[in-house]
Chain A
Amino acid sequence: MQSTDLPVSEIQPSSGWRTLNVRELWTYRELVYFLTWRDIKVRYKQTAIGIAWALLQPLAMTIVFTLFFSRLAGLETEGIPYPVFALTALLPWQLFSKAITESTNSLVTDQKLITRVYFPRIIVPIAAVLSALVDFLISTGLVLTVMTYYGVHLRAEIIWLPFFILLMLMTASGAGFWLSALNVEYRDVMYTIPFINQFWFFVTPVVYSSAAVPDRWRTLYALNPMVGVIEGFRWSLLGAGRGPDSAIFASTAVAVVLFVTGTIWFRRSERTFVDTIGSGGR
């Protein structure tokens, strides 16, 4: 018998606190790909202009912001053309906002999947974040075009951009893990999303420059990891601001904590997802 080469697996009640099982995630990488692909396909399936929405949204927002905040309110932008200034922040912001909106509901939307087939559940919010990343990558082209139009040249600091993208993804998925897991038990969470979105938008320097925040509040301000992300984007792409200072450590630390605790909370509560999800929470 060749039973020795059959893989052996075991199930038993899990206990204690667990973090991400990276090896298992790796074996399921194709499912991550397919779920992300499905999310994108479905999102643009019945739309007239399809994936162009990924460009249209930030473009429209930039125009509106330019009109109101630059022309009418005359916000200070450190000498950078306002449309470029706004767009470089809108990109990571929209990824974040989309990611938390989509991932919060992701487990409930996919509850049929979760109650019928086993796979690492964390793939579901991950796919939600990754599908937002695809939109992000498409609209990166828009930023580059607008930068060229306004004569803003790429700088050497752009090599730091991947770090800020990573920081952005950690923040978005960390928040996504927390919110999606909580939403299984308390469906109230999804009703708070518009509020969280709006609040977070105002404490993040999207329409305004973080230079407007007094220095003594800086570290506190940078506890919002999206502050670090957006300052980083503006610095590495446009040379805005003084460059990363101690505040970036605060942002990074919070992003890491959000991500790690999010993972642990998710892994802890996923044991009862299937038992609670059908019954509409507690």
Chain B
Amino acid sequence: MANVAIHAEGLSKRYRLGARPRYKAARDVLSEVARSPLRALRRGSETSESVLWALNNVSFEIKRGDAVGIIGRNGAGKSTLLKILSRVTEPSSGRARFHGRLGSLLEVGTGFHPELTGRENIFLNAAILGMRRQEILRKFDGIVDFAEIEKFLDTPVKYYSSGMYVRLAFAVAAHLEPDILLVDEVLAVGDAAFQKKCLGKMGEVAREGRTVLFVSHNLGAVSALTRSCLYLDSGHLLCHDKTAIIVQRYLNETASGPVASTNLDQYRRDSRNKSPVRMTRIESPSQISFREDFCITMYVESEQKLDEAIATVVIKNAHGERVAVAFSWDAGVFVSLPPGRSSIRLKVRNMPLAPGRYYCDAGLNQSLMTASYDVVVDYPIFEVANNGEFVHWLDRPWGAVHWQDLGWEITSD
């Protein structure tokens, strides 16, 4: 019990969606009110369709000095959990106990006023985040240094560039020294260099033995900063485990990439009239991590026996540019099929596709020279996720292929 920082038990948050059923006309409502005013008043409170459990019976324990991530899809309850823990809103039921001073950072620059100067906003914002005046005075120079805004200290922040604004805001927040820090997505702002600096600062905070709870969509940042994670899904806590395990599970379970329709008729086809063979289905993972092996499987139906056809898979990036082209012929493989259903699987290993979304053209050709039998064009396959290898520059331009095993040599005279 001694080294527990946060102990949460059965935290739940219920929201009501609209007070009354929507489908009723005002006339009906009025006549109902006239007939039985009391019942009309009571309605709307607790019908099950109008209640949303943003958080449902979530219990966990976090040790002192742990850096813990919160992962989940949009609407999983991550922000609601942080809002409850930071006391912005009350839980509908359940309780949580904290050991230590709590600081929350649900947004950078909370309470900044555009008309006030940088100096004035430092004081205001710091006070809002829970710092005492003495503390602010002591840390003032450090904040100004970190934000690199010394020259503009007495300029109203409405004249700041967005970069300066964010730097100042984060600088104040970074100098908050609570025992427990709750952070929500604040790293999604600012330029690359500053993001790197913020990540560094957050890592420092975690190393100093403070407890950090960190919500982000950026798996890279979560992997870099945290040792364990809470995985939320539609208000439920699915598990609490090591970050690497949860990130992998999250990648496996989420289909946030392009969602492919199973009906191939929706896609453009490049096919010969009266083709003896038809593509019926394409199978691929919806999300893979960087350099993860994957398979693309084509299901076909043939009317007759087919000899020496060529299977082809073209991988395209989100701009529709061809990234890689594979003909089975290249590998000396020719496709011979009996009449009926068959499947053709392409296994890809260690392909350095850069993070992003990918599409494919996949199908069968009669030969290299003649028209194709049947090729499905621009079929969405997967998203390659940035799994944390390149955290320090979150929105870097990737290109289509991520180079590896490069050597740099610098010579000067």
Residues of A that sit less than 8 Å from B by CB: 1, 3, 6-14, 30-31, 33-34, 37-38, 41-42, 45-46, 110, 112-119, 271, 274-275, 282
Contacts and interface: CB of A to CB of B under 8 A. Distances in A.
Interface stretch (B110-118, B222-230, B349-357, B395-403): B110-118
Interface string B87-106: 11111111111111110101
Given A1-B3, A30-B127, A31-B128, A13 B98 contact: no
B3 A42 contact: no
Contacts of A46: 115
Given A3-B3, A8-B99, A11-B84, A119 B128 contact: yes
Interface range, B side: 35 or more
Contacts of B124: 34, 37-38
Nearest to A273: B89
A8 B19 contact: no
Contacts of B132: 30
B94 A38 contact: no
A213 to B, nearest CB: 41
Contacts of B3: 1, 3
Nearest to A115: B88
B179 A117 contact: no
A117 B111 contact: yes
Contacts of A38: 113, 116, 120, 124
Contacts of B98: 8-11
Contacts of B88: 114-118, 274
A113 B112 CA distance: 9
Nearest first, the 10 closest Cβ-Cβ pairs linking A and B are: A118-B87, A12-B95, A34-B127, A6-B100, A274-B89, A116-B110, A116-B106, A45-B115, A6-B99, A10-B97
B129 A42 contact: no
Contacts of B86: 117-118
A10 B115 contact: no
B2 interface: yes
Contacts of B141: none
A47 to B, nearest CB: 11
Interface in B68-93: 83-93
Interface string B367-383: 00000000000000000
A113 B86 CA distance: 13
B159 interface: no
Nearest to A11: B96
B305 interface: no
Interface string B118-157: 0010011001111011000000000000000000000010
A3 B64 contact: yes
A13 B127 contact: no
Contacts of A10: 95-98
B89 A275 contact: yes
Contact of B87 (A6, A11, A33): A11
A112, A275, A282, most chain B CB atoms within 10 A: A275
A238 B107 CA distance: 53
A90 to B, nearest CB: 28
Contact of B128 (A6, A41, A117): A117
A31 B97 contact: no
A118 B100 contact: no
Given A13-B90, A116-B88, A118-B88, A34 B123 contact: yes
Contacts of B115: 41-42, 45-46
Given A6-B101, A118-B104, 19 more contacts: A3-B99, A11-B84, A11-B85, A12-B94, A12-B96, A13-B91, A34-B124, A38-B116, A41-B115, A41-B116, A42-B113, A42-B116, A45-B115, A112-B110, A115-B106, A116-B104, A117-B104, A117-B129, A282-B19
B179 A6 contact: yes
Given A11-B90, A30-B133, A118-B104, A274 B128 contact: no
B390 interface: no
A6 B19 CA distance: 43
Nearest to A34: B127
B60 interface: no
